[in-house]
A and B are shown apart, each in its own frame.
Chain A
Amino acid sequence: MALTYEEVVAKYEPSLGLEVHVELNTQTKMFCGCATEFGAAPNTQTCPVCLGMPGALPVVNEKAIESTIRIGLALNCAITPKSRFARKNYFYPDMPKNFQISQYDEPICTNGYLDVEVETDEGSKTFRIEIERVHMEEDTGKSLHVGGATGRIHGAEYSLLDYNRAGIPLVEIVTKVVSGTGKYAPEVAKAYVKELRDILRSLGVSDVKMEQGSLRCDANVSLAPIGSGKLGTRSETKNVNSLRSVERAVRGEMIRHAGLLDKGERVIQETRHFQEDTGATRSGRSKEQAEDYRYFPEPDLTPVAPDAPWIEQLRSDLPEKPSVRRARLQEQWQVPDKEMAAMVNAGAVDLVEETVALGADPTKARGWWLGEISRLANEAEVELNAAGISPKDVARIVELIGAGELTDKLARQVVASVIAGEGDPDSVIAIKGIKVVSDESSLIAAIEKAIAAQPETAEKVRNGHLPAAGALIGAVMKETKGQADAARVRELLLGLLGQA
């Protein structure tokens, strides 16, 4: 019988290790001048260097180094005065040189931290995630396995190789062991990746699109009996492609590990692949026998030795930290703590800020993003920013409501239509003929019709029993197919019945 999550965390203490790979958004690749644009036709963004042609040599992209140093600084890291590239040797067809230029024992940034906030039973709590290293490396090409059932290399008829991605600069951010999170481990993992993503976005160094692979997370999870003071055997879950998946993967692995440990079985040290559809992980490569990558210093490149004034310049040019920015916005918008936390958790801060910047009232903007749009995004199981509606759309809807051209109810229809891909608010309104009924003569006719149909109810209202008005208003709204402004209907009705 599988343990419930509550049973797992009552018995075991989880430890996490998170490795995040970030594709930098430099114009050119890490070691050559090829373009990095996503989605180009296969093998059109290649040259002798990134194809690993005999004789070709790498030259470091200075912009990539600058981006990496900025990431390190934003994560409170020490910048290594002289760091080196190293070769990681292994054979794989999508790796043109059969070694990857990476960094090994001399990474460019070390020893940083990132504070993240998580809602706990005792309120909001800060967890400090220590960063072990931030290093640079080149991405590999992509293999496409054709034929066979699984799309995996085993059973495939043949494979196609696309080297467009080969040599794209990657930054790997590795945490130290994260412990002491207890049952909040899944939330802490998610909050860390999210905060990191926000920082990277604010630095402008990456597109940080998890679904396109420009931000990829590997989650290492291990369990040990509470109070044992030991670290258990870890599994390394790859292919975690959304924030939600980070949380699910950690929770799922904790439950799976606990199941094994409870049966007296051991956890195998291996990579596991997260299955987006089931939320489970599938066994990958065993790491019981550590692979020997025969690292050695890359002889084709000289050490990276950024000078101190440059580093200080980069440090002073860092953008406002997302956490600082959040505090500032909370102040500006006058949002209570709990609401702000909800906005952060929903990933709504940027969206609300953009909506406000387009002229919307902060409270109204927040209401839409956290209310109706969040509800629809949840239904569709997508992140809020992928819900299919833009801050511009929301600002326009808020504007139309303010102008009395939409009621809240009509606005919800417009939001649903925009999300359904039917166009921007104005075109949706035009196509569907959505409009507030403001012709008062037809409205008054409808009210009179309702009064005539329900004389007893009307009499109650005349006698001062105002709650009875609801039934009449409802009848009017029905008559006008919901297009009337309910507040105006109420005003007119009460006026006609002598209660204005």
Chain B
Amino acid sequence: MSDLIKKSASELAALIARKEVSSREVTQAHLDQISQTDSLIHAFLHVDSEGALTQAEMADKNQNSTKSPLHGVPLALKDVLAQKGIPTTCGSKILEGWRPPYDATVVTKLKDAGVVILGKTNMDEFAMGSSTENSAYGPTRNPWDTDRIPGGSGGGSAAALAAFQAPLAIGTDTGGSIRQPAAVTGTVGVKPTYGGVSRYGLVAFSSSLDQAGPCARTVLDTALLHQVIAGHDPKDATSINAPVPDVVAAAQRADVKGMKIGVVKELSGEGYEKGVAERFAESLAILESQGAEIIEVSCPNFTFALGAYYLIAPSEASSNLARFDAMRYGLRIGDDGTKSAEEVMSLTRDAGFGDEVKRRIILGTYALSAGYYDAFYGSAQKVRTLITRDFAAAYSKVDVLVSPTTPTVAFKIGEKSNDPVAMYLSDVATIPVNLAGVASMSLPAGLSDGLPVGFQIIAPAMKDDRLYLVGGALERELSAKWNGPLTHQIPDLVLR
């Protein structure tokens, strides 16, 4: 194992900038790690070795003319973002073979910053799931324990970081798909403020909730990537036209002195594992010792969040996924000259979508139907407003809110496959954030029985910098205790 792959993105960028190592060498080291470990982990759906090395060589050539803090550093891209000419499947059979004719805005920004894209990472089909078991191409395994799930939907991106296949990754978070995988793999993931990062080229699951965000093994790396991908995009009407908060400066300052930190009462207690609760309490103690004031706050409507989410997200998904109809791209079944367009659409959708996707399309179609709209979609939107008000009330008293990211550590592959509701509960603490469009980070708080526990920080909209102030401060103390990032404690991967 090359020691290059254990380094953080900021360290690698510095080495590349000083020409002590080339982007090509760094990229090759990560490609080697992928080829050695990915038959076991299955973090990637597509590895673009040739393209990555070409980009790396280009980065080496342009070294002198850049100010990008991540120039030449490799990255793993979740397979839900369009990259021109590169297979993009969203973990679904229905998009098998589709190569987008355009780049997502996030991808354009990465390319402009000289970031090298290694390939596309595995995910629950169309980002629907919390374990990556819903991928049509087989599950991803958690590098901490390969019998366990890496979280989802962005399990591939999180596992790639934890397996040292990439120092940076892009995820997307609709109800926790960045943060829950970060929590159960001991990595850092941020869901930026809704509208903070362009959704153009992000294949939509639930348009009003989806948000792309940065993933890494350290808070500073996450901030550096956040800075690269954030900002207004005229191609996304929901993109916020305002300056991006200085997240990098916040990560470097990493200071909580005088900050008021609110502990959300509703995101604790029953259902939260003992080890999770203990690591959370320890983290609070650290922040208090660093000069923060810890206050308990109540957000009573959070208890309705899961229900509202499972009406809004499937409703939007039922419409967003209607375009997969075999007419223009992707899978086509039954086109033998004897069947009507409707039959081909129906056969294709039946063969191309997995069970969880079908379940949510049916749920959403039902919730939007005439006569049910007010009771389901309409009520869910009202709950959404109430949750937003809960956040506003809480932020009138505190600067950030905190909770455990997930109630449990990583569960075993197959353990919850037949119990969708148990699976949905994995996201009980992360979902309120998406409903309100606020910003949130998960970072490692330690281990419970040898498995990572996540600590969640939630900041008001467009105050993403506060995530990094708090996360940076907590990480400094914890990594001193662990003698490096938590991921360095991962047992060596057993090659199968």
Query: What residues make up the interface of A, taking CB atoms closer than 8 Å to B?
Result: 48, 51-60, 87, 89, 91, 93, 96-99, 153, 158-159, 161, 290, 292, 294-296, 299-302
- Which residue of chain A has its CB nearest to the CB of B370? A292
CB contacts under 8 Å to A, within B68-106, are: 81-82, 88, 90, 95, 98, 100-102, 104
CB of B102 within 8 A of CB of A48, answer yes
Contact with A along B339-365 (1 / 0, CB 8 A): 001100100000000000000000001
Interchain CA distance A302-B369 in the complex, whole Å: 23
CB contacts under 8 Å to A, within B326-347, are: 327-329, 337, 341-342, 345
Selected contact of A57 from candidates B90, B199, B324, B377, CB within 8 Å: B199
B residues in contact with A53, CB < 8 Å? 82, 100-102, 328-329
In the assembled complex, how far is the CB of residue A166 from the closest CB belonging to chain B, in whole angstroms?
A: 11
CB of B368 within 8 A of CB of A294, answer yes
Interchain CA distance A397-B90 in the complex, whole Å: 69
B residues in contact with A301, CB < 8 Å? 237-238
CB of A97 within 8 A of CB of B82, answer no
Contact flag A54-B95 (CB < 8 Å), given A159-B341, A294-B368, A294-B369: yes
A residues in contact with B236, CB < 8 Å? 57, 59
Selected contact of A87 from candidates B81, B199, B319, B329, CB within 8 Å: B319
The A interface is mostly helix, strand or loop, or mixed, namely loop
Contact flag A302-B95 (CB < 8 Å), given A52-B323, A91-B345, A296-B315: no
CB of B200 within 8 A of CB of A56, answer yes
Interchain CA distance A300-B320 in the complex, whole Å: 10
In the assembled complex, how far is the CB of residue B493 from the closest CB belonging to chain A, in whole angstroms?
A: 33
Interchain CA distance A290-B368 in the complex, whole Å: 15
CB of A98 within 8 A of CB of B101, answer no
Contact with A along B182-206 (1 / 0, CB 8 A): 0000000000000000011111101
CB of A59 within 8 A of CB of B90, answer no
B325 at the interface (CB under 8 A from A): yes
Interchain CA distance A91-B316 in the complex, whole Å: 16
Selected contact of A55 from candidates B201, B316, B319, CB within 8 Å: B201
B residues in contact with A299, CB < 8 Å? 206-208, 238, 316
- Which residue of chain B has its CB nearest to the CB of A157? B337
In the assembled complex, how far is the CB of residue B340 from the closest CB belonging to chain A, in whole angstroms?
A: 8
Interchain CA distance A20-B337 in the complex, whole Å: 37
A residues in contact with B234, CB < 8 Å? 59
CB of A300 within 8 A of CB of B322, answer no
CB of A57 within 8 A of CB of B203, answer no
Interchain CA distance A432-B147 in the complex, whole Å: 95
From B104, B236, B237, name the one whose CB has the most chain A CB atoms within 10 angstroms: B237
B residues in contact with A300, CB < 8 Å? 204, 207, 237-238
- Which residue of chain B has its CB nearest to the CB of A300? B207
Q: How many residues of B contact A (CB 8 A)?
A: 45
CB of A54 within 8 A of CB of B88, answer yes
Interchain CA distance A158-B339 in the complex, whole Å: 10
A residues in contact with B88, CB < 8 Å? 54
B253 at the interface (CB under 8 A from A): no
Interchain CA distance A4-B218 in the complex, whole Å: 85
B304 at the interface (CB under 8 A from A): no
CB of B200 within 8 A of CB of A99, answer no
B137 at the interface (CB under 8 A from A): no
Interchain CA distance A389-B104 in the complex, whole Å: 52
CB of A56 within 8 A of CB of B201, answer yes
A residues in contact with B95, CB < 8 Å? 54
A residues in contact with B322, CB < 8 Å? 89, 91, 97-99
20 pairs, A vs B, C-beta closer than 8 Å:
A48-B100, A48-B102, A53-B100, A54-B323, A55-B81, A55-B200, A55-B201, A57-B235, A57-B236, A58-B237, A59-B237, A89-B322, A91-B345, A93-B325, A96-B323, A294-B319, A294-B368, A296-B316, A300-B204, A300-B207
In the assembled complex, how far is the CB of residue A197 from the closest CB belonging to chain B, in whole angstroms?
A: 32
Interchain CA distance A302-B194 in the complex, whole Å: 13
CB of B235 within 8 A of CB of A52, answer no
B residues in contact with A98, CB < 8 Å? 322-323, 325
A residues in contact with B329, CB < 8 Å? 53-54
CB of A302 within 8 A of CB of B237, answer yes
A residues in contact with B369, CB < 8 Å? 292, 294
Selected contact of A99 from candidates B315, B319, B365, CB within 8 Å: B319
In the assembled complex, how far is the CB of residue A151 from the closest CB belonging to chain B, in whole angstroms?
A: 16
Q: Which 4 A-B pairs have the closest CB atoms?
A: A98-B322, A294-B368, A299-B207, A299-B208
In the assembled complex, how far is the CB of residue A240 from the closest CB belonging to chain B, in whole angstroms?
A: 27
CB of B323 within 8 A of CB of A97, answer yes
Interchain CA distance A163-B123 in the complex, whole Å: 32
Interchain CA distance A57-B236 in the complex, whole Å: 6
In the assembled complex, how far is the CB of residue B193 from the closest CB belonging to chain A, in whole angstroms?
A: 15
Known: A55-B204, A299-B238. 20 other contacts (CB 8 A): A48-B101, A48-B102, A51-B328, A52-B323, A53-B82, A53-B100, A54-B329, A55-B100, A55-B202, A56-B201, A57-B200, A59-B236, A91-B342, A93-B345, A98-B325, A161-B327, A294-B373, A296-B377, A299-B208, A300-B204
Interchain CA distance A159-B337 in the complex, whole Å: 11
B residues in contact with A159, CB < 8 Å? 341
Interchain CA distance A290-B369 in the complex, whole Å: 12
B residues in contact with A153, CB < 8 Å? 341
In the assembled complex, how far is the CB of residue A95 from the closest CB belonging to chain B, in whole angstroms?
A: 9
In the assembled complex, how far is the CB of residue A50 from the closest CB belonging to chain B, in whole angstroms?
A: 11
CB of B82 within 8 A of CB of A55, answer yes
CB of A54 within 8 A of CB of B328, answer no
A residues in contact with B207, CB < 8 Å? 299-300
- Which residue of chain A has its CB nearest to the CB of B366? A294
A residues in contact with B202, CB < 8 Å? 55
CB of A91 within 8 A of CB of B315, answer no
CB of A54 within 8 A of CB of B208, answer no
Interchain CA distance A339-B207 in the complex, whole Å: 59
From A48, A56, A301, name the one whose CB has the most chain B CB atoms within 10 angstroms: A56
In the assembled complex, how far is the CB of residue B325 from the closest CB belonging to chain A, in whole angstroms?
A: 6
A residues in contact with B370, CB < 8 Å? 290, 292, 294
Interchain CA distance A296-B319 in the complex, whole Å: 9
